[in-house]
Amino acid sequence: MSPGGFDVIDVIRTKRDGDRLSDDQIRGFMEAYTSGRVADEQASSLLMAIFWRGMAPTELSTWTAAMIASGQRLDLSGVGRPTVDKHSTGGVGDKVSLPLVPLVAACGAAVPQLSGRGLGHTGGTLDKMESIAGWRAGLEPAAMIEALRKVGCVICAAGAGLAPADRKLYALRDVTATVESIPLIASSIMSKKIAEGTDALVLDVKVGTGAFMSDVGRARQLAETMVALGTAAGVRTTALLTAMDTPLGRTAGNAVEVAESLEVLAGGGPADLVEITLALAREMVALAGLSDAGPASDPAAALADGRALAVWREMVAVQGGDPDAPLPVARAGHVVRAPRAGYVTRLDARAVGIAAWRLGAGRARKEDPVSAVAGIRCVAKPGEAVEVGGPVLELAIDDPGRLDAALAALEAAFDIGPEPPPPTPLIIDRITA
């Protein structure tokens, strides 16, 4: 038995046997583990028991609340606007946060986007933003709140004080094969977002080969679980299930995705990226209670009239970046060509993501550096025609020694057929409380 009467063995045994953990057991474990009084071996046993036995909704709500209580909860009540944020479960070419955050701020909300770095084949928002000269990810809470008052939005790193229990548990899940547990995924995401202090939250749950969740049923279960957690914590929460079998937009990488985001903010950009950005923006504006404000709160109008781009420039500048600085470009390139004429019928998001990762745009370990310029441009996407020998993918190369490994990932990345494939919806479902 641990000091103070807390018995971690009893907690492990309770969940191992499929019983519900009491609120006191959950709070006791979270406090003891965060403070170092429970060994990683014991916490690993509990995580594996949760992986196999699951958690009841009320049990998971208490677990998430205990993770939040392990650190600070930001108070954004003084920013002068309704607050709303968005979280994506990650995908290939998923640069949506970059145009979305200033767009929603241009519609009258405050958007405190606390983001992360990429790991594996899905990119990280902070890695993309750091390809902008001078831009910095780290903001103290007071500076973040001041930026929200002044500009209406930030994209920055979450501070160490938010849900520190999650930081410890996530690292342990990564090395104990318990990452895929829906209760553990949901509590990890929602503990940080709720601790952030936002009034409302929209979740973009990706589904497909390039997403963490490839099965629609499990993605819907995850979305429903997270929406329930947010609602129970007093955060107005909805979720969209969106397709991630094909890369979103035309680019996967860091600087190349910033450039594409700027195209959207300037009123252009790929149709699929614009569609997802506007769908999420409308959800956020509605949850923030701004839908009735007329053209001033219309995301499409804010893109068309330049308001969103103006907010982007202010946001970049307030975080030390130069919005006029040219983005870095790769020293070399390579074109993957079509072996026959026809239509692209499939372009696998995961294969493109892995190739971009191998070029240096992503990292295998959290401490690895990333290349700002490495990446891939999808010249032809499903439904588009190609000629024999015509370009399908263009690779931006920082380190030529990485090219062969990237090309290996792309060997079966796309198919070409005589007819275009039938169109498929980008937005699969909407989940509410």
Identify the pLDDT of residue 368.
82
pLDDT digits (tens, 9 = 90+) for 92-120: 999 999 999 999 999 999 999 998 887 66
> Which class in CATH covers the domain with range 332-417?
alpha beta
Backbone dihedral angles phi then psi of residue 384, each to the nearest 5 degrees: -100, 145
Pairing state of beta strands 236-243 and 427-431? antiparallel
Identify the pLDDT of residue 363.
83
Average pLDDT over residues 304-320: 98
pLDDT at 232 over 50: yes
pLDDT at 261 over 60: yes
Backbone dihedral angles phi then psi of residue 17, each to the nearest 5 degrees: -85, 5
CATH assignment of 84-159+169-318, among 3.40.50.970, 3.40.1030.10, 3.30.720.110, 2.40.110.10: 3.40.1030.10
Catalytic residue flag (residue 167): no
Of 45, 88, 188, 371, the active-site residue reads: 188
Binned at pLDDT 50, 70 and 90, residue 360 comes out as very high
pLDDT at 8 over 90: yes
Of 86, 117, 192, 307, the active-site residue reads: 192
Identify the pLDDT of residue 3.
47
pTM confidence score:
0.95
Catalytic residue flag (residue 87): yes
Average pLDDT over residues 155-163: 89
Sign of CA dihedral 101, 65, 172, 224: negative
pLDDT at 127 over 80: yes
> Which class in CATH covers the domain with range 3-54?
mainly alpha
pLDDT at 319 over 60: yes
Catalytic residue flag (residue 95): no
Sequence spans of domains, the chain = 3-54, 84-159+169-318, 332-417
d(CA 288, CA 316): 23
- Where does residue 165 rank: exposed (0-12), middle (13-18), buried (19+ CB within 10 A)? buried
Of 388, 387, 277, 394, nearest to 330 (Cα)? 394
Identify the pLDDT of residue 5.
61
- Mean pLDDT estimate for the chain: 95
Contact call for residues 38 and 28 (beta carbons, < 8 A) = no
| Residue 280 structure tokens | 């999420």
Three-state SS at 186: helix
Catalytic residue flag (residue 149): no
Bridge partners of residue 30, in order along the sequence: none
Using a pLDDT cut of 70, give the percent of the chain over it: 98
Bridge partners of residue 386, in order along the sequence: 342
Of 344, 314, 330, nearest to 406 (Cα)? 330
Catalytic residue flag (residue 75): no
Binned at pLDDT 50, 70 and 90, residue 393 comes out as very high
pLDDT at 344 over 60: yes
pLDDT digits (tens, 9 = 90+) for 50-98: 999 999 999 999 999 999 999 999 999 999 999 999 999 999 999 999 9
Using a pLDDT cut of 90, give the percent of the chain over it: 89
Identify the pLDDT of residue 119.
67
Average pLDDT over residues 350-361: 96
Of 85, 127, 166, 204, the active-site residue reads: 166
Of 87, 121, 168, 307, the active-site residue reads: 87
Contact call for residues 65 and 29 (beta carbons, < 8 A) = no
